[in-house]
Amino acid sequence: MNDSSSHASTDKRSMAFQAAVNAPIRKIEKVKDAFGKEAPISEYFGCLTFGLGQMREKLPKDAYGNLIKTLEHGKKLPKETAEAIASSVKEWSVTKGVTHFCHWFQPMTGLTAEKHDAFISIQHANHSELRVIERFTGSQLIQGEPDASSFPSGGMRSTFEARGYTAWDPSSPLFIIEEENGKTLCIPTVFFGYHGQALDNKTPLLRSIEAISTEAVQFLKLVGDVDAKKVQTTLGAEQEYFLVDKNFAALRPDLLMTGRTLLGASSARGQQLEDHYFGSIPSRIKSFMQEAEFELYRLGIPIKTRHNEVAPSQFELAPIFEDMNIASDHNLLTMEVLKRVALKHGMVCLLHEKPFAGVNGSGKHNNWSMANDKGENLLEPGHTPHQNLRFLACLAVVLRAVYKNASAMRAAIASPGNDHRLGANEAPPAIISVFLGSLLENILNTIEAGKALKATEEQIIDLGVSQIPNISKDYTDRNRTSPFAFTGNKFEFRAVGSSQNVAVPMSFLNAAVAASFAESSEQLKDLLKKKKRDEAVMELIRLIVKETKAIRFSGNGYSDEWKAEAKKRGLPILNTTPDALEVLKDKKATQFLIDMKVLSKEEIDSRYHIAVERYVKTLDIEHTSLLELTSTYIVPALEKHMEQLGAAHESMSFAALKKSHKVRMAEFEEVFADVLARYEAFKNKVEKSRKGHDENKRMWEIMEDLQPASFKLRDAVDAAELLVADELWPLPKYREMLLAHNLA
Ligand code: ADP
Ligand code: MG
């Protein structure tokens, strides 16, 4: 055999391996203080942002006052104020070297979009002379009109009115994106159609934040917080991700096309030793993290923790929680920064929920809570009996929200990527339930037993509820298999996928909680006619605890017993995206979104259509890639291996060897035959399915028929990988992609 030509693909693979192992560590210039030492984070934190703090400093007093009125009472921003803001924004940007600005928005593709314009305009100095000057007007700040026809609207907008508008969201800071050759000012905006329909994910989030505030304030007043004015929702989104050396990614068409590996046998050493979690971080990775964090700090994103995750090459970062709207924008920015900075370090950041089969997937734990205008966390057990009663009442409201809207919450996290993750290793199951921990379980059970019926402040203490203030200190109860877990002073929605825009699940959760506050307020009003306040609140808690019992689960979410038990309890079991998306067509299940004015019927329908279309397109791309990979990478490698086996066999004369070798050949031939047969079967199914025109039908067919066939093909190829000569295998292997960092 001619070695130099036949092993071209493996040469590439071993070169990639060499490159990955010998990758240089990239150094960055940090900010220096006056003495030339590295400046502390606090000195440059947020230096690339222009938010309320900077505006208070830089704007004329009345302009700033008007802006605050707009933010707090929804008053229209006067034109002069917009001009004043635009002018100080321009001045600040230009001194930072910014040349362009863009309206940064969140179309329903789940990513962010930007349209850039230069800060220039032409001035006529005199009849013949034109001059270019830097200019940025109030209306350019406030409103934009990107060509909306290129973004999905789910049929909401016919082409003759393809207008879409972006409008500045002043509650989220403006920020500068710095790249090697230029800087751009990004203006966070909402994106909507001619009739005010939301064409993005941010608009419903803002609506849901308002809904929760309105309904919670009403409820708090009834509970005794008569001066409550506003309730803020807070979010801390933990982000998991994988890093793979760029040289490997370049040799994996599946990673490039789909963000995950469609093929690949598990390596002998995966995560079974569980030694990666919190292990020491390889220095190449650490220098990547340090640069990513440096960028994020300058963008005002308060990253607090970094660590290895359970799988090799998997990592996590978590910010300090912030106001929901800002935290949501910050998570999108974080994902962008991670991807961009990884490339600078010669790596690709994979945000997909399941880049590698057989090892952990990635999630995004959404730590969620609510605070009143005094900054008190409503889900934090307090120091006084009243605070504890309020805590229990708010907790009950959340229980009711999840109990009543579990199916919609499942729909909010549905995606082809998350389908691979939910219910797998270390990921929560697809059944939504709430984990509270044994301490709270005991308290709720006591309340349910009626012992608290005539509760006064003293009796709450009698009940052992006075223990509650200790919860956050002593709270060690954890359940990694729960999709929605109480963790001391917040809930953690753990079923959210790593690549998702959190605005979607958060707006559904907020809407559910708002609706539950509304319902609970009505119920409490009735109870208040019969009982004193604290007794009425206690009775309300008892009623809700009883009503929502089915949603509480403390056991192992992975177990088959739980599936059976959940079914008995009547909880929705929606294992796949098609199952979950059906919820969006269910009038009863989505009514809370309409009632809370978070989404209209039309907007829900459009989101359903977009999700179906995205499911079909995503899997079409995966299936095309899998067929192509098999036919142009895998089968030729198997043929070569066959040839090599045959030649070796011919050269053998010792009978015993020849006999054993025949067994080896037979084993390989069987696997090879499997690959070809499954390839044919899968290809036929794909071709037939593509003839269908009804998207909904195709979605179901893909899930029920094509997906299983694609998994069967994958299994055969993965079995072949373990037999084919290593030097003939054309794709970087799992062990290379996942473990090379350890040598770097
Ligand atoms: P844990 O170990 O329980 O996950 P951490 O304190 O590390 O707890 O918090 C995890 C995430 O939860 C962090 O992003 C943190 O900022 C966030 N978090 C803490 N308190 C709140 C809150 N009141 N609202 C929202 N997120 C919160
Ligand atoms: Mg956590």
**CA distances in angstroms from 688 to 302, 610, 683, 684, 692, listed in the order given:** 50, 23, 9, 6, 7
Determine the 3-state secondary structure of 193 from DSSP.
strand
Q: How far apart are CA 416 and CA 421, in angstroms?
A: 9
Determine the Cα–Cα distance for residues 226 and 166; give it in Å rounded to an integer. 38
- Which ligand places an atom closest to the C-alpha of 304? 1
Q: Is 14 in the pocket of ligand 1 (CB under 6 A)?
A: no
Nearest CA, atom 14, ligand 1: 236
Which of 378, 490, 510, 513 to mutate to test ligand 1, by most ligand atoms within 8 A of the CB atom?
Answer: 490
Task: Among 116-125, 226-235, 709-718, name the one with the lowest average pLDDT.
Answer: 116-125
- CATH of span 45-200: 3.10.20.70
The first and second tokens of residue 205, run together, are: 């989030």
Q: What is the pLDDT of residues 149-173, one digit of tens each?
A: 677 777 665 544 567 888 899 999 9
Q: What is the mean pLDDT of the chain?
A: 89
Ligand 1 touching residue 487 (CB < 6 A)? yes
Mean pLDDT of 666-695: 96
User: pLDDT tier at 651 (50, 70, 90 boundaries)?
Assistant: very high
Mean pLDDT across 6-20: 81
Q: State if residue 318 touches ligand 1 by the CB under 6 angstroms criterion.
A: yes
365 CA to centre of ligand 2 in angstroms: 6
Domain boundaries defined on the chain:
3-19+615-742, 45-200, 201-232+404-599
Q: Which atom of ligand 1 is least distant from the CA of 371?
A: 23
Is the Cβ–Cβ distance between 120 and 100 less than 8 Å?
Answer: no
* 45-200 and 3-19+615-742 share a CATH fold: no
Residue 377 CA: nearest ligand 1 atom is 23
pLDDT per residue as tens digits for the range 303-346 = 998 888 777 889 999 999 999 999 999 999 999 999 999 999 99
Determine which residue's CA is closest to atom 17 belonging to ligand 1.
236
* Inter-residue contact 186 to 102 (CB < 8 Å): yes
User: Locate tokens 């309206």: which residue?
Assistant: 103
* Residue 378, ligand 1, Cβ within 6 A: no
Would you say the CB of residue 327 lies under 6 angstroms from ligand 1? no
Cβ of 236 below 6 Å from ligand 1: yes
Identify the band that residue 465 occupies on the pLDDT scale cut at 50, 70 and 90: very low
pTM, entire model: 0.93
For the cut 80, the answer to whether the pLDDT of residue 455 exceeds it is: no
Please report which confidence band the pLDDT of residue 3 belongs to, taking 50, 70 and 90 as the band edges.
very low
Q: Is the distance from the beta carbon of residue 334 to the nearest atom of ligand 1 less than 6 Å?
A: no
Whether 197 is in the pocket of ligand 1, judged by its Cβ within 6 Å, is: no
The percent of residues in the chain predicted with pLDDT above 90, rounded, is: 67
List pLDDT tens digits, range 355-375.
999 888 999 999 999 999 999
The larger pLDDT score, comparing residue 274 to residue 15, is at 15
What confidence score (pLDDT) does residue 453 get?
35
Handedness of CA 127, 132, 134, 139 (dihedral sign): positive
Residue bearing the CA closest to ligand 1, atom 11: 236
Please state which CATH number belongs to domain 3-19+615-742.
1.20.120.1560
Query: Among 235, 238, 365, 367, which is best to mutate for testing ligand 1, by the most ligand atoms less than 8 A from CB?
Result: 367
Phi and psi (nearest 5°) for 187?
-110, 110
Distance CA 403, CA 432 (A): 9
Question: Which residue's alpha carbon is nearest to atom 23 within ligand 1?
Answer: 369
Q: How far is the CA of 563 from the centre of ligand 2 (A)?
A: 24
DSSP code of 552?
A: B
Write down the H helix ranges in 582-654.
587-595, 601-629, 635-650
Ligand 1: residue whose CA is nearest its atom 22: 369
Name the residue at shortest CA distance from atom 1 of ligand 1.
487
Rounded to an integer, what distance in angstroms lies between the CA atom of residue 661 and that of residue 650? 10
Tell me how far CA of residue 247 lies from CA of 15, 19, 238, 374, 656, in angstroms.
8, 7, 28, 52, 43
Distance from C-alpha of 318 to C-alpha of 310, rounded to nearest angstrom: 15
Share of the chain above pLDDT 70, in %: 92
Model confidence band, residue 4 (pLDDT cutoffs 50, 70, 90): very low
Amino acid type, 101: F
Task: Tell me, using a 6 A CB cutoff, whether residue 234 lines ligand 1.
Answer: yes
- The mean pLDDT value for 180-198 works out to 90
CA 513 to ligand 1 center in whole angstroms: 19
Cα dihedral 146/334/287/27 (nearest 10)? 30
User: Candidates 296, 316, 321, 368: which one to mutate for ligand 1, based on the most atoms within 8 Å of Cβ?
Assistant: 321
Residue with the bigger pLDDT between 137 and 719: it is: 719
pLDDT for 2: 45
| Contact by Cβ (8 Å): 399, 379 | no
Answer whether 321 contacts ligand 1 (Cβ < 6 A).
yes
Model confidence pLDDT, tens digit, residues 51-84: 998 899 999 899 999 899 888 877 788 888 899 9
Beta strands in 66-215 (DSSP E): 100-105, 113-118, 120-124, 130-134, 143-144, 164-168, 174-179, 182-193
- Going by pLDDT thresholds of 50, 70 and 90, the confidence category of residue 463 is very low
pLDDT band at 510 (very low <50, low <70, confident <90, very high): very high
Closest ligand (CA of 306):
1
Tell me, what's the pLDDT at 333? 97
Is the CB–ligand 1 distance for residue 320 below 6 Å? yes
Confidence of residue 417 (pLDDT cuts 50, 70, 90): very high
Q: Which of 614, 613, 625, 615 is nearest to 683 (CA)?
A: 625
pLDDT of residue 474: 38
Q: Which atom of ligand 1 is closest in space to residue 320's alpha carbon? A: 16
Report the separation in Å between the CA atom of 329 and the middle of ligand 1, taken as the mean of its atom positions.
17
Determine if ligand 1 sits within 6 Å of the CB of residue 107.
no
| Atom of ligand 1 lying closest to residue 305 CA | 7
In ligand 1, which atom is closest to the CA atom of 489?
A: 23
pLDDT digits (tens, 9 = 90+) for 106-148: 998 877 988 888 888 888 777 777 888 888 988 888 888 776 6
Q: Which ligand is nearest to the Cα of residue 476, counting in written order?
A: 1
Lowest mean pLDDT among 20-34, 70-84, 330-344, 475-489: 475-489
Q: Is 70 exceeded by the pLDDT of residue 519?
A: yes
For residues 422-447, average pLDDT: 86
Q: Identify which of 175, 141, 171, 172 has the alpha carbon closest to the alpha carbon of residue 46.
A: 175
Nearest CA to ligand 1 atom 6: 320
Q: Report whether residue 377 contacts ligand 1, using a CB cutoff of 6 Å.
A: yes
- pLDDT of res. 304: 93
> In this predicted model, what pLDDT tens digit does every residue of 277-288 receive, in sequence order?
556 778 889 899
pLDDT in tens, 245-264: 999 999 999 999 999 999 99
The mean pLDDT value for 514-534 works out to 97
